[in-house]
Amino acid sequence: MAITLASVDALAASIPDGAKLAIPKTAAGVSMAVTRELVRRGVRDIHLVGVPTSGLQADVLIGAGCVSVIETSAVTLGEFGTGPRFAAAVRAGAVQVLDATCPAIYAALQAGAKGIPFIPLRGLIGTDVLVNRNDWKVIDNPFAQDDPIVLLAAIRPDVALFHAVKADRHGNVYIGRERELMMMAQAAQRTVVTVEEIVDEDLMADDSSAAATIASLYVDQIAVAPKGAWPLALLDRYALDAKALGDYAKLARTEDGFRTFLAGWLGVEHGQAA
């Protein structure tokens, strides 16, 4: 059965105010195309889950006032430092931060994908992260004595959003080596994806591509958005636009500069410098 493609606008419109939205790390395939439309629409009160970190995408959404809660282990622009709008929002108390570690995010998503209410994890005992997460519980290991362990509530996003290299006409999405995208899709209630292209071959019919493909069962909407991750990289298709990211980092240090960025970014076509 062939898929019916949506528009980028339709994907953004399907993410409601107040949604718990899972997004991938910078290198895994970020849908900046849908992010732009979310900002343009003025989405509000998003609970953003960075899997396990985020960068430009989270920083822009926070700066635009779209996010009320962020759950992640970092918001970083790499060599350009911490996301400036994220840092400003934290200082101002404008966003609630649910601090986590990379293993904690992955483990809680695994619980969501498995349909279980919580999952145990070691490595958090004695850390400041645990001190500041009263929603995580420390219990005694029921199978051993004097062995405390942390229980994390499952993360079940309302929507998982990412950008991928390609999808086929059956709705299967190729994700390459970025396996956390599979976990996101399995844990989320809905998964919406932008892709570079639609291909005619059945990605699930060939063993060489099937193992790196999310089956259409887990994909709700797909839109074609060439260079939809720009200025971020996408696997081996295109590299990070370091100049564009550096320009953003400089502008976003101030509220006025960020507004200047937004005015340009919202007024240009995908793949062009703001």
* 167 & 132 share domain: no
* 141 & 129 share domain: yes
Output the tens digit of pLDDT for each of the chain's 274 residues.
678 899 999 999 999 999 999 999 999 999 999 999 999 999 999 999 999 999 999 999 999 999 999 999 999 999 999 999 999 999 999 999 999 999 999 999 999 999 999 999 999 999 999 999 999 999 999 999 999 999 999 999 999 999 999 999 999 999 999 999 999 999 999 999 999 999 999 999 999 899 999 999 999 999 999 999 999 999 989 999 999 999 999 999 999 999 999 999 998 444 443 3
Assigned domain for 106 exists: no
d(CA 47, CA 70): 6
* pLDDT in the model for residue 4: 84
* 84 & 167 share domain: yes
Assigned domain for 271 exists: no
* pLDDT in the model for residue 10: 97
Assigned domain for 85 exists: yes
Assigned domain for 272 exists: no
What string of H, E and C letters represents the secondary structure of 203-243?
CCCCHHHHCCEECHHHCCEEEECCCCCCCCCECCCECCCHH
* pLDDT in the model for residue 267: 84
Assigned domain for 187 exists: yes
Q: Which of 153, 173, 196 is the last residue of a domain?
A: 153
Cβ 72 vs Cβ 86: under 8 Å:
no
d(CA 189, CA 207): 27
33: domain CATH number is: 3.40.1080.10
* pLDDT in the model for residue 1: 64
Query: Which of 39, 160, 47 has the alpha carbon at shortest distance from 97?
Result: 47
* 79 & 93 share domain: yes
Structural domains counted in the chain: 2
Assigned domain for 107 exists: no
Backbone angles phi, psi at 28, to 5 degrees: -90, -15
Backbone angles phi, psi at 43, to 5 degrees: -60, 150
* 13 & 149 share domain: no
Assigned domain for 108 exists: no
* 149 & 163 share domain: no
d(CA 212, CA 164): 11
Domain that holds residue 126: 118-153
* 124 & 244 share domain: no
* 123 & 73 share domain: no
